[in-house]
A and B are shown apart, each in its own frame.
Chain A
Amino acid sequence: MDWSYILAVMVTSAFGLQAIVFGLAAIGINIQFGYTGLLNFGQAAFMAVGGYSVAVVVVEFGWSFWVGVPIGIIAAILLALLLGIPTLRLRADYLAIVTIAAAEIIRLILRSVTFKELFGGSDGRQAFADGFFALSPYPDDAAISIGPAVINDQQLWTYTVGWLLVALALLITWLLVRSPWGRVVKGIREDEDAVRSLGKNVFAYKMQALVLGGVFGALAGFITAIGAQNVNPDVFKTDATFFAYAILILGGAARVFGPLLGTIIFWAVFQGTDVFLREGIDAGLPIISLMDGTQAAVLRVMLVGLGIMLLMIYRPQGILGDRRELALDAR
């Protein structure tokens, strides 16, 4: 068992691509769910919209990568409007059902043979990020080694931009939630009729929260597309949404830095568990070696589910949250 390897994986995962992607997605959910109380269970769809926008624009239309970015953001805004109009006037559970359904609709369309010419079916789309890497200030031979893991120049550029986006999203969240705008959405989270009775257009605020959170989701989609140099429909399953929820709840909902802390810890532990189990299987450790590699991968997702349950039951405020303020138990 190579502990230094496990440690290196944990460190690189804590600050790696997935941590950025799911951090951004979770910041979006924090605005929607944490502060406004909207159950968007379709964040994966917003990620898909972002990722596929840059991919399709480059691969299918031959336009610049940088055209895909505004298109992705506009598409995410349109998606939020589309989902919000029928559901934001309804009870929270309806929004949950409609958004999860919408995410599935989008995934099924993306992977369909019918639209294969546009979206590439279940293979997805590859090789579209050259325009992004062309702007990289790092020399081609730039590399950072963390233990046995090596980060090359392209990854370095992706991570730089990714963490800058995370910082930007956190800054916007911070500015918003301490403003009167934040006061209104927190009021909506607890009792929207009270806020409505004071002359606030509740529907408009919910829509703004849904749109902003969705745009953060699209940013997550950009980064996952660039980092993997690949988009395919199975990256954007509902599990992606719920991973982001797990991260948010772990770090602390309705806390600006909750998603950041959550994503760092989540990915360190999630990937660390994976390597630990694989190493354990190879080393023939008792009990662990009864599993095979697939089972080990399944086991850690199982633990994510268990983790969501235990957190919600015993510590719904997560690490940073304030139980008194958290409206998770409100209806």
Chain B
Amino acid sequence: MPDSTSTSGTRHDEAVRALASVPRVPGAPKPDPILVVDGVKRSFGGLTAVDVQHVEIQRGAITALVGPNGAGKTTFFNLLTGFDTPDTGQWLFDGKDLAGMPAYKVARLGMIRTFQLTKALSKMTVIDNMRLGAKNQIGERMIPAILGLWKSQEVAVTEKADELLARFKLFEKRADFAGSLSGGQRKLLEMARALMTDPTMVMLDEPMAGVNPALTQSLLEHIKDLREQGMTVLFVEHDMDVVRDISDWVIVMAQGSVIAEGPPDEVMRDEAVITAYLGGHHDKALTASGVSYTEEASQ
């Protein structure tokens, strides 16, 4: 396993090198995009929540999606992963068109998401949460389930789950109900469970929200670890320190559109970004708060 504890793993360097020549403009083409989004638009009763002209996500890099409250980040996530349907638009994941594809098929293709409000299944044990993540289980089909043809596969699934639990320091909790875990542990469980599906791209919606500071560092390391294992990460985050710490590339959204792109340090100096976070927030307070209001309402 590559050095997963240092800030700059080998894959990090690779990603930085690959992205170095990418122009710092919204919608900039990437050398090796895993996800290409075109003209995705979604409005709620006349209010445009997302209107992304073009955006590309570099394979094998950690890309942060930032923006003020109500910028449409979560809605954008929902659209990309099939949890919501855009009014128009298309997007290719690994060359496959995902438009109109139901969420479970998107997940099967290897694009796995987590949720802002953690969806650890609290009335199931930790180990069952993990097992649920495994793909292609024969015992998940009705007839083989009744005939008990799943026993040997279950052993393998459990082994894999236990390995991941150990890595995420949850092994001690494997028999507990997930509901008994702390907020941070649930985030870890959700991430570990996502890894049970062997994803190629992991979409994390505010992975640090509600996590106590003691666990933050460990979570960050796990995210970097994903990259080192060759996965692509796209994550939504508010905390700029976190963004600066772990991301190779940052995409800024405001009022539903991508307004800036670039490496973390450069983006945070960008005039448009500062305006979006400070001035713009006041100028366009009505729209922005309107959108965030509906977002909260749907939680």
CB proximity of B91 to chain A, nearest CB, Å: 17
Given contacts A176-B146, A179-B145, contact A194 B115 (CB under 8 A): yes
Separation of A197 and B191 alpha carbons in the complex (Å) = 12
CA distance A187 to B137 in the complex (A): 15
**A184 touching B132 in the complex, CB below 8 Å, given contacts A179-B150, A197-B113:** yes
Question: Whole-angstrom distance between the alpha carbons of A208 and B144 in the complex?
Answer: 14
Once the chains bind, are B122 and A190 in contact (CB under 8 Å)?
yes
Complex: A188 Cα to B31 Cα, angstroms = 40
Q: Is B282 an interface residue (CB 8 A)?
A: no
Known contacts: A196-B107, A197-B107. The answer to whether A182 contacts B123 by CB under 8 A is: no
The residue from A179, A199, A212 contacting B148, defined by CB atoms under 8 A apart: A179
Smallest beta-carbon distance B70→chain A, Å: 21
Residue B140, interface by CB 8 Å: yes
B119 at the interface (CB under 8 A from A): yes
- Is B119 a contact partner of A183 (Cβ separation < 8 A)? no
Given A193-B119, A198-B193, are A208 and B142 neighbors across the interface (CB < 8 Å)? yes
Residues from chain A with Cβ under 8 Å of B128 in the complex: 183
How far is it, in angstroms, between the C-alpha of A179 and the C-alpha of B143 when the chains are bound? 11
CB distance from B130 to the nearest CB of A (A): 10
Alpha-carbon distance A198/B191, docked complex (angstroms): 11
Known: A180-B140, A181-B141. A201 touches B104 (CB 8 A): yes
B-facing residues in A146-205 (Cβ within 8 Å): 172, 175-176, 179-184, 186-187, 190-191, 193-202
Question: A140 within 8 Å of B by Cβ?
Answer: no
Report whether B177 and A324 are in contact in the complex, using a CB–CB cutoff of 8 Å.
yes
How many of chain B's residues touch chain A, expressed as a range? 35 or more
Q: Which of A255-310 contact B (CB under 8 A)?
A: none
Cβ of A327 within 8 Å of any chain B Cβ, yes or no, is yes
Looking at A175, A200, A202, the one whose CB has the most chain B CB atoms below 10 A away is A200
Q: Contact between A180 and B145 (Cβ–Cβ < 8 Å)?
A: yes
**18 contacts across the A-B interface (CB closer than 8 A):** A179-B140, A179-B148, A180-B139, A183-B128, A184-B140, A186-B124, A190-B121, A191-B119, A193-B103, A194-B119, A194-B120, A196-B103, A197-B107, A197-B115, A198-B196, A199-B108, A199-B112, A326-B123
Chain A: CB-nearest residue to B106 = A199
Q: Are B121 and A191 in contact (CB under 8 A)?
A: yes
CB-CB under 8 A from B135, the residues of chain A are 199
CB within 8 Å of A: which B61-118 residues? 81, 83, 102-105, 107-108, 112-115
With both chains docked as a complex, state the minimum distance between the C-beta of A198 and any C-beta of chain B, in angstroms. Answer: 5
* Closest B residue by C-beta to A200: B104
A190-B124 in contact given A180-B154, A184-B140 (Cβ < 8 Å)? yes
Which residue of A is nearest B128, CB measured?
A183
Q: In chain B, residues 188-235, which have Cβ atoms closer than 8 Å to a Cβ of chain A?
A: 193-194, 196-197
Choose among A180, A186, A187, A212 the residue with the greatest number of B CB atoms under 10 Å from its CB: A180
Report if B11 contacts A (CB, 8 A).
no
A180-B139, A181-B139, A183-B124 given as contacts; is B132 within 8 A of A198 (CB)?
Answer: yes
Q: List the A side residues contacting B194 at CB < 8 Å.
A: 197-198
Question: Does A325 touch B at the CB level, under 8 Å?
Answer: yes
Assess the A175–B146 pair: CB atoms within 8 A. yes
Please measure, in the bound complex, the distance between the C-alpha atom of A6 and the C-alpha atom of B146, giving whole angstroms.
Answer: 41
Closest Cβ–Cβ distance, residue B88 to chain A (whole Å): 22
Contact of A199 among B104, B114, B120, B154 (CB under 8 A): B104
Known contacts A180-B150, A186-B123; can you find 7 more A-B pairs with CB under 8 A? A181-B140, A190-B124, A194-B121, A195-B132, A197-B107, A197-B119, A199-B107
Chain A residues at the B interface, C-beta cutoff of 8 Å: 172, 175-176, 179-184, 186-187, 190-191, 193-202, 208, 212, 324-327, 330
| B187 within 8 A of partner (CB) | no
Most chain A beta carbons < 10 A, residue from B102, B113, B132: B132
Known pairs A198-B112, A324-B177; A181 contacts B142 (CB<8 A): yes
**Which chain B positions have C-beta within 8 A of A193?**
83, 103, 115, 119
Q: B146 to chain A: which residues have CB within 8 Å?
A: 172, 175-176, 179
Does B113 contact A187, Cβ atoms closer than 8 Å? no
Contact A179 B139 (CB under 8 A): yes
Chain A residues in 8 Å Cβ range of B105: 199
Is B133's beta carbon under 8 Å from chain A? yes
Shortest distance between the CB of A307 and any CB in chain B (Å): 25
Question: With a CB–CB cut-off of 8 A, which chain B residues contact A183?
Answer: 124, 128, 131-132, 140
Whether A202 and B104, one on each chain, are in contact in the complex, defined by CB atoms closer than 8 angstroms, is: yes
B147 — nearest CB in chain A belongs to which residue? A175
Per-residue contact bits, chain B 171-196, to A (CB 8 Å; 1 contact, 0 not): 00000010100000000000001101
- In the bound assembly, the distance between CA atoms of A181 and B146 in angstroms comes to 9
Task: State how many angstroms separate the Cβ of A1 from the closest Cβ of chain B.
Answer: 47
CA distance A197 to B77 in the complex (A): 12
Contact partner of A198 among B133, B142, B150, CB < 8 A?
B133
- The one of B132, B145, B154 in contact with A175, judged by C-beta atoms closer than 8 angstroms, is B145
> Which residue of chain A is the closest to B81 with respect to CB atoms?
A197
B120 CB contacts on chain A under 8 angstroms: 194
Query: Hey, which chain A residues are within 8 Å of B154, CB to CB?
Result: 180
How many whole Å from A21's CB to the nearest CB in chain B?
A: 24
Within 8 Å CB of A198, what residues of B? 104, 107, 112, 132-133, 193-194, 196-197
Q: How far is the CA of A326 from the CA of B124 in the complex (A)?
A: 10
Which residues in B have their C-beta under 8 angstroms from that of A208?
A: 142
Interface pair B123/A324, CB less than 8 Å apart: yes
- Which residues of chain B are within 8 angstroms of A200 by Cβ–Cβ distance? 104, 132, 140
Contact status of A325 and B123, CB under 8 A, knowing A183-B131, A197-B103, A199-B197: yes
With both chains docked as a complex, state the minimum distance between the C-beta of A84 and any C-beta of chain B, in angstroms.
15
